[in-house]
Amino acid sequence: MIRLENITKAFPLNDEEVIALKGVNLTIKEGSFIAIMGPSGSGKSTLMNILGCLDRPTSGRYFLDDVDVSRMDDDSLSEARGKKLGFIFQSYNLLSQLTVVENIQLPLVYQDVSLKSQHDYTIELVEQVGLSDRIDHKPTQLSGGQQQRVAIARALINRPLMVLADEPTGNLDSQTEKEIMEVLSALHKDGKTVVVVTHDEAVAKYAEYVIRMKDGVIVKTEKNEIEAKNESKAESKTEKGSV
């Protein structure tokens, strides 16, 4: 479903060039749950931006749903992003003047989709993330964990091929972190493809695979074997770059 072939990304810095990604090869199978980890400067955020069609590679090819999006123009890239991807951010990115339902439906507005036609599905998502009793609340009336649940539902409103979460628990306490990761785990069990960028090993334990990056390359891919309720985990090395 998702394949990166020899992806490089370079950024100009004064009179020099910084190479953020150095020939990354990665295949993400439909229904996978992966965590991307690495120290600052490892390239994980750059990789996330390319996966999310927020940036283009300098060289290499990126196939999203078997379509090469690496050389699309801005309009085509924006359309692919809006129709095929869902995003969850650390800072939630909700609009304070809108209700829970209105925030969830916001991506549909930019796609010219009838909100009325998606009302039942929106309510279904509200129930799925456990916010049925907060349906008319605004972000300022919600806790951080509740706001992130709204963001998760918003990421699903366009029925995306892949959900991308950038440090989704970075602003949350440990108990709320667990609750949010259990929501993402439930999405994975329902067949969604989920990719999380995180620095937190506790978050990574929820993933099916952990991709570790350093200096712009994938240095290791691990498969998590998680028993019921994530109470124990054993790791084994798997084929690098294929999850």
- pLDDT one-digit tens code per residue, 114-156: 888 889 999 999 999 999 999 999 999 999 999 999 999 999 9
pLDDT of residue 30: 93
CA 184 to chain centre: 10
Give the whole-angstrom CA distance, residue 141 versus residue 147.
9
Checking phi first, is residue 30 left (phi over 0); if not, alpha (psi -120 to 50) or beta?
beta
Residue 194 token pair: 């989920």
Residue 25 token pair: 């090869």
Q: Is residue 219 part of a domain?
A: yes
Poorest-pLDDT segment among 95-99, 166-170, 230-234: 230-234
Stated pTM of the model:
0.88
Residue 210 token pair: 């952990």
Poorest-pLDDT segment among 18-22, 74-78, 85-89, 143-147: 74-78
Q: pLDDT tens, 49-69?
A: 999 999 999 999 999 999 999
**For 110, phi and psi rounded to 5 degrees?**
-75, -15
| Contact in structure between 115 and 105 (CB atoms under 8 Å) | yes
Structural domain total, the chain? 1
Would you state the torsion angle of the CA atoms of residues 153, 154, 159, 160, taken in this order, to the nearest 10 degrees? -110
The domain that holds 233 is classified in CATH as: 3.40.50.300
Q: Is residue 22 part of a domain?
A: no
Average pLDDT over every residue of 43-48: 95
Rounded to 10 deg, the angle between the 144-156 and 100-110 helix axes is: 30
Q: Is residue 21 part of a domain?
A: no
Domain extent, residue 200, equals 30-45+85-237
pLDDT of residue 240: 52
Residue 151 token pair: 């963001």
Q: Is residue 69 part of a domain?
A: no
Share of the chain above pLDDT 70, in %: 93
Q: Is residue 64 part of a domain?
A: no
Residue 234, pLDDT > 70, answer no
Q: Is residue 153 part of a domain?
A: yes
Q: Is residue 125 part of a domain?
A: yes
Residue located via tokens 């085509």: 76
Q: Is residue 12 part of a domain?
A: no
Give the start-end residues of each E strand in the chain.
Answer: 2-13, 16-28, 33-37, 59-64, 67-68, 85-89, 162-166, 193-197, 209-214, 217-226, 233-237
